[in-house]
């Protein structure tokens, strides 16, 4: 396998499937199947999942809610998604651990780097919930931060589109896809891959990012086997 240890970033919105909000059990089961394929090949897997399907702090702030309060609500939403994904993975026979940046001992371990790494070494899938534990930071930033901390080989960002384009392919039919692009070129072209804090953190730590379509079955396995899927952002 090309990668020994990965950090998989999933969006909360992806869990909605065709629904307007919440979690679609069918999507969860499909994700669990894809993750099991690489788990069975010996890949060590850490996961960060967003909470946009339940609550988004920025949206709450735009409607008059206190931004800090809204962000903490968003962190709790990621814990709910993490628990749902944990259940789906365990239904498929995988061992998991949910670690959270906020202390919720009844349902999850507190995040401890050494413990997380040990779980990964033992073949357990570690899901990181509650973002960084701080308001004003996105789950993209949490994903890169945890990826750096546990010494992941790559950040795999699963989205609805199959890579990075010159423009939004859902709005511009003439948009051209990149197979490979450097961090520098992403910044020069003003492309939206992750928020600036997350992207800069990844660049500074020389941690490559692969943006791919998580909803296409088998893509995750293909990437880990070294096939050219999605877009690779490299140093």
7-25: pLDDT as tens digits: 999 999 989 988 888 999 9
Q: Work out the average pLDDT over 36-55.
A: 96
The residue written with tokens 């384009």 in the block is: 165
By the 8 A CB rule, do 99 and 117 touch? no
- Please check if 100 is assigned to a binding site: no
Asked whether the predicted pLDDT for residue 104 surpasses 80, the reply is: yes
- Please check if 62 is assigned to a binding site: no
- Please check if 10 is assigned to a binding site: yes
Share of the chain above pLDDT 70, in %: 99
**pLDDT tens digits for range 213-235:** 999 999 999 999 999 999 999 99
Phi first, then psi: what are they for 180, rounded to 5°?
-135, 140
- Please check if 66 is assigned to a binding site: no
- Please check if 122 is assigned to a binding site: no
- Please check if 137 is assigned to a binding site: yes
- Please check if 71 is assigned to a binding site: yes
Distance between CA 139 and CA 113 in Å, rounded? 17
Residues in the chain: 235
Q: How many Cα atoms within 13 Å fall on the side-chain side of residue 64?
A: 0
Distance between CA 189 and CA 167 in Å, rounded? 10
pLDDT-derived band of residue 49, with 50, 70 and 90 as boundaries? Answer: very high
Count the Cβ atoms, other than its own, within 10 Å of residue 66: 12
- For the chain, the structural domain boundaries read 5-233
- Please check if 192 is assigned to a binding site: no
pLDDT-derived band of residue 57, with 50, 70 and 90 as boundaries? Answer: low
- Please check if 138 is assigned to a binding site: yes
- Please check if 135 is assigned to a binding site: yes
Query: What would you report as the CA-atom Rg of the chain, rounded to the nearest whole angstrom?
Result: 17
pLDDT-derived band of residue 58, with 50, 70 and 90 as boundaries? Answer: confident
Q: Is the dihedral of CA 111, 115, 117, 123 positive or negative?
A: negative
- Please check if 82 is assigned to a binding site: no
Tokens standing for 164?
């990075």
CATH class of 5-233: alpha beta
Q: Work out the average pLDDT over 166-177.
A: 89
Distance between CA 213 and CA 196 in Å, rounded? 21
Q: Is the dihedral of CA 177, 153, 33, 143 positive or negative?
A: negative
- Please check if 19 is assigned to a binding site: no
- Please check if 52 is assigned to a binding site: yes
Q: Which distant-in-sequence residues (6+ apart) come within 8 Å of 106 by Cβ? A: none
Taking all residues of the chain, what is their mean pLDDT, rounded to a whole number? 95
Distance between CA 211 and CA 216 in Å, rounded? 13
């Amino acid at each position: 396998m090309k990668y020994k240890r990965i950090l998989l970033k999933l969006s909360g919105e992806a869990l909605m499937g065709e629904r307007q909000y919440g979690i679609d059990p069918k999507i969860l089961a499909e994700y669990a199947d894809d993750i099991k394929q690489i788990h069975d090949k010996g890949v060590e897997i850490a996961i960060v999942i967003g909470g946009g399907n339940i609550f988004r702090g920025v949206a709450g702030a735009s409607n008059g809610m206190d931004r800090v309060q809204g962000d903490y609500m968003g962190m709790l939403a990621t814990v709910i998604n993490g628990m749902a994904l944990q259940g789906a993975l365990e239904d498929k026979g995988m061992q998991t651990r949910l670690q959270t940046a906020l202390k919720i001992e009844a349902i999850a371990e507190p995040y401890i780097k050494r413990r997380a790494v040990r779980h990964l070494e033992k073949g357990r899938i570690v899901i990181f919930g509650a973002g960084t534990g701080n308001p004003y930071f996105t789950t993209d930033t949490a994903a890169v931060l945890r990826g750096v901390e546990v010494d992941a080989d790559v950040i795999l960002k699963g989205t609805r589109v199959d890579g990075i384009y010159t423009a939004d392919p859902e709005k511009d039919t003439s948009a051209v896809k990149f197979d490979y692009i450097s961090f520098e070129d992403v910044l020069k072209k003003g492309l939206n891959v992750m928020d600036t804090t997350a992207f800069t953190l990844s660049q500074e730590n020389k941690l490559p990012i692969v943006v791919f379509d998580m909803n296409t079955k088998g893509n995750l396995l293909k990437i880990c086997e070294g096939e050219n899927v999605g877009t690779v952002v490299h140093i």
